[in-house]
Each structure stands twice: as C-alpha cells, then as structure tokens.
Amino acid sequence: MLFYIVHFMTHHIQLAYYYLFDSTTICVTIMKMTPEEFRHQKCQTLQGVDLSRKGCIDDAIKLLVEVINNRDEFVTTSSCSGRVILFCENIAEGHKKGCKWLFTSHDSVDIQELINSVDPAEGNLVFKYEPLILHIRCFTLDHAKLLHTCALEAGFRNSGITLGKHGKVMLAVRSCMGLEVPISENGELLVSHKYLEFLVRKANEKVEENQSRTERLLTCVKNAFEVNT
C-alpha cells in the first residue's frame, strides 16, 4: 500500500493538497480533477439554463452569489433568497412537486395582495415561509469547510456538506427558521382574515430576520475570502 500511495504521489504531486484540521488529523487529497477542469465545469454550470420557476437569481442575494462565484473554487448551483409562498398541496402526488403557486414574494408581503390570492377552490392551500437556500459546489472539502463555517456563524444552522458522485463536494446553506401553515381543505378556508393578517405579520418578521442573517453571511464570506487570499 505504501508503494501505491507514493507511486501515485510522484505522478500527481502537482495536484496535491494537504490540510491539518486542528492538528489532530492530517489529510492528503490527491485529486484527479485539476483546478482547470473544475473551472471548466464551473463555466458549464454558469452557462447552463436556469431551471428555477423565476429563471434568474433573486435581487437580494445577487451580490452574495457574485462574491462566491468570483472565486475559482466555488460555483453556486441553485439559490433562493427566501420567500413567502401560498400554494396548493398536490394530494394526488403526495408531494409538493407540480403544485400550483397562487402567490410568491421574495420581500415583505402586503396583506391585501395575499388575501386577493387566497382561493380555496384551487385546492388545499398552504401558507409558507422559506428562508435563504444556497447550494454551492466547492473544489475541495477544505473550501466547503471554509464556507460552512461562515454559514454557521451567520446563523444558518441547518447547513451541511454533501459528498456526491464523481467526487463532487456540495455545501447546502439552510436555516431552520420556518413557517408552514395549512389554511384550507376541500374548498373551505379554515382560518379568519384576522388570522391571515397575523400570519403575514409573522412572515414579515421572518423576512427581516432572514435578511439580517443574509447580510451577516455576506460579511463572513468576504472576511473569510480576504483572510484566505
């Protein structure tokens, strides 16, 4: 085994990375993918078709996404700045996919706008707030760890790393601050307008909290990149 490793290193030493985490573990990663190959795949990702419903990056996180994508070692693969949605549950399929959206906002919500969208005849309605979600492909585990630390510092406690096929390292930035409220069934609205007003107020509080976390994340990421330049 020693021979195998050393043999491998002499051929690939120009691609070798080593890191030391907290001096208890030393990990030597010898990657078949060169930085150039990663950059090539990154270009393909950035040039690909945006498959989201909206089809573009939300204004509130354009700068954050830009700061991350400006670094060779990272590429965002999907993002949502956070949103308030009103949708119909698709019971037939048993999951959200293919469900109809009646209302969506990436910013604070106007109560009248929401109430105008409430139509129990459309199906079983759910009012939901989803905070920022960001998926970032990273060149190495080291790079993923750097951004993961930023995400945790900024309050995105449900973030985590995924090791995918073909050695892909992904970081998902997620928060645990949600709101998921079913409000109608079989064509009948089960809550009052007063309650809907209350819900919108609650959602708007979360929109604000999400915005300050997102700002903290941008600051953390900028600082981390400065230190690691």
174 near its own copies, rule: CB under 8 A: yes
158 near its own copies, rule: CB under 8 A: yes
The residue type of 77 is T
Nearer Cβ to its own copies (99/152): 152
Nearer Cβ to its own copies (71/174): 174
224 near its own copies, rule: CB under 8 A: no
Nearer Cβ to its own copies (29/223): 29
Nearer Cβ to its own copies (60/172): 172
CA-to-CA dists, residue 196 to 110, 126, 159, angstroms? 11, 12, 30
Least distance between its own copies and beta carbon 109 (Å): 15
Q: Give, to the nearest 10 degrees, the angle between helix 193-227 and helix 141-153.
A: 130
Length of the chain: 229
The residue type of 8 is F
Give backbone dihedrals phi and psi of 131, rounded to 5 degrees, phi first. -75, 180
Question: Using CB under 8 A, which residues numbered 33 to 92 contact its own copies?
Answer: 33
Structural contact between residues 215 and 155, judged by C-beta atoms closer than 8 angstroms: no
CA-to-CA dists, residue 201 to 145, 196, 208, angstroms? 36, 9, 11
181 near its own copies, rule: CB under 8 A: yes
11 near its own copies, rule: CB under 8 A: no
Q: Which stretch binds its own copies (CB under 8 A): 17-25, 46-54, 104-112, 216-224?
A: 17-25
Identify the CA nearest to 137 among candidates 54, 71, 206.
71
Residues 7, 16, 52, 101: which binds its own copies (CB under 8 A)? 16
Q: Which stretch binds its own copies (CB under 8 A): 65-73, 74-82, 177-185, 212-220?
A: 177-185
Nearer Cβ to its own copies (4/56): 4
Instruction: Return d(Cα 99, Cα 93) in angstroms, integer.
Output: 9
Instruction: Return d(Cα 214, Cα 208) in angstroms, integer.
Output: 10
CB atoms within 10 A of CB 142: 17
The residue ranges that bind its own copies (CB under 8 A) are 1-2, 5-6, 8-10, 13, 16, 18, 21-33, 141, 145, 148, 152, 158-163, 165-167, 172, 174, 178-182, 185, 190-192, 194-195, 198-199, 202
